[in-house]
């Protein structure tokens, strides 16, 4: 359930809360409801809506307030972060009440989420990821979504006239988000000051590995779990299986393939058993990059999806 602001934030929020309430109590809808909180709405109305929603979200839209003020002068981050705080307090209060009482009214059991627009402002990927990292430090924030900006009009000079939405950049941000949530990467590592934007040619994990050849090769049979997670081609489940399996035997490349490691990529960054493939330490990051990004010519650009908006 979502809406633009009609009359004022409280009027709009009251109508959205009423719809959610009617769905639950009158129409007996027991499915999933994702409800958008209106920036600037009062605590009472946000709390009322939270009793009937599974998840609530307040879209931050632009990572830096300077850019938000330029594109939407009537908005500011305070009106976004305030209802986020109302939702967070409501969820945490509900969790505390459950420890003391048997029957507690539900309140946004699925936590909250938010969204940022990619490509509408000059903000770098580093700006976006630092904002996402700060949002994930909130105990109730579950997901940050990234939406590539689509140019739909030419009459406002503040908005960039993009021929295509930045779909590859959007995809790289989702991959970087995954690294922060599950691979123990920090936003400052994924996009540092010298590389504020993500490499569109390679995924962020491979990009980090190519920028830090001093960290490789990683000895699969000795390295800690945290370092194994950083090897391109090794996922969270594979890393856990490696740490478990090496307690019983010395692992080689055959074992890693059976575990699910993408050896075509990982072999340049690891040592194990009989593996004698040239590592990034023996060659150079540029050479490994060329090997891993070599593509067969297909007559189109493999890095960008194309849509005809005419």
Percent of the chain with pLDDT over 70: 93
Residues 6 or more apart whose CB falls under 8 angstroms from that of 238 comprise: 256, 259, 260, 261
Q: What is the pTM of this model?
A: 0.86
CATH 3.30.390.50 describes domain 9-198: no
Q: Where are the alpha helices (DSSP H) in 51-108?
A: 65-71, 78-100
Q: Where are the alpha helices (DSSP H) in the chain?
A: 9-25, 43-50, 65-71, 78-100, 125-136, 167-182, 187-190, 204-211, 225-228, 236-245, 253-259, 263-266, 285-293
Task: Return the pLDDT at 297.
Answer: 43
The ranges assigned to domains in the chain are 9-198, 206-293
Tell which residue, 78, 77, 59, 76, has the closest CA to residue 118. 59
pLDDT digits (tens, 9 = 90+) for 4-55: 888 888 999 999 999 999 999 999 999 999 999 988 888 999 999 999 999 9
Task: Return the pLDDT at 187.
Answer: 94
Can you tell me the mean pLDDT for 245-264? 92
**Element (DSSP H or E) covering residue 33:** none
Can you tell me the mean pLDDT for 139-153? 88
Task: Return the pLDDT at 98.
Answer: 86
What b-and-e string marks burial along 152-180, b requiring 16 or more CB atoms within 10 Å of the CB?
eeeeeeebeeeeebbbbbbbbbebbbbbb
Place of tokens 């920028």: 211
Q: How confident is the model at residue 293 (pLDDT cuts 50, 70, 90)?
A: confident
pLDDT digits (tens, 9 = 90+) for 192-246: 999 999 999 999 999 999 999 999 999 999 999 999 999 999 999 999 999 999 9
Task: Return the pLDDT at 220.
Answer: 93
Task: Return the pLDDT at 207.
Answer: 94
Kindly tell me if the per-residue pLDDT of 296 is higher than 50: no
Can you tell me the mean pLDDT for 133-143? 92
Q: How confident is the model at residue 307 (pLDDT cuts 50, 70, 90)?
A: low
Task: Return the pLDDT at 229.
Answer: 95
Per the model's pLDDT, the better-predicted residue between 154 and 185 turns out to be 185
pLDDT digits (tens, 9 = 90+) for 49-96: 999 999 999 888 888 888 888 887 777 788 888 888 889 998 889 888
Instruction: Measure the CA–CA gap between 228 and 3, rounded to whole angstroms.
Output: 45
Instruction: Measure the CA–CA gap between 93 and 96, rounded to whole angstroms.
Output: 5
Instruction: Measure the CA–CA gap between 206 and 223, rounded to whole angstroms.
Output: 18
Can you tell me the mean pLDDT for 154-178? 86
Per the model's pLDDT, the better-predicted residue between 234 and 164 turns out to be 234
Per the model's pLDDT, the better-predicted residue between 107 and 279 turns out to be 107
266 with 234: CB under 8 angstroms? yes
């Amino acid at each position: 359930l979502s809406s633009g602001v009609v009359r004022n934030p409280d009027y709009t929020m009251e109508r959205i809360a009423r719809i959610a309430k009617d769905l639950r109590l009158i129409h007996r809808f027991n499915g999933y409801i994702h409800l958008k909180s209106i920036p600037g709405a009062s605590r009472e109305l946000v709390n009322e809506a939270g009793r009937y929603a599974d998840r609530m979200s307040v879209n931050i839209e632009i990572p830096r307030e300077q850019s938000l003020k330029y594109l939407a002068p009537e908005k500011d981050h305070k009106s976004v972060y305030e209802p986020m705080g109302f939702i967070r307090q409501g969820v945490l209060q509900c969790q505390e009440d459950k420890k003391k009482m048997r029957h507690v009214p539900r309140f946004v059991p699925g936590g909250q989420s938010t969204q940022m627009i990619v490509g509408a402002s000059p903000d770098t990927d580093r700006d976006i990821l630092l904002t996402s990292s700060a949002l994930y430090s909130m105990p109730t924030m579950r997901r940050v979504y990234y939406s590539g900006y689509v140019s739909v009009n030419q009459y406002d000079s503040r908005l960039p006239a993009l021929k295509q939405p930045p779909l590859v950049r959007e995809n790289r941000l989702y991959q970087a988000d995954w690294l922060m949530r599950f691979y123990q990467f920090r936003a400052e590592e994924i996009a540092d000051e010298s590389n504020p934007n993500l490499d569109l040619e390679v995924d962020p994990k491979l990009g980090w590995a190519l920028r830090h050849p001093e960290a490789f090769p990683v000895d699969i049979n000795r390295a800690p779990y945290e370092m194994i997670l950083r090897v391109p081609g090794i996922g969270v489940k594979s890393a856990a299986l490696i740490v478990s399996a090496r307690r019983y035997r010395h692992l080689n490349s055959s074992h890693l393939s059976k575990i699910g490691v993408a050896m075509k990529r990982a072999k340049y960054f690891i040592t194990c058993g009989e593996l004698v493939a040239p590592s990034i330490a023996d060659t150079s990051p540029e050479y490994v990059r060329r090997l891993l990004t070599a593509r067969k010519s297909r007559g189109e650009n493999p890095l960008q999806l194309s849509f005809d908006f005419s």
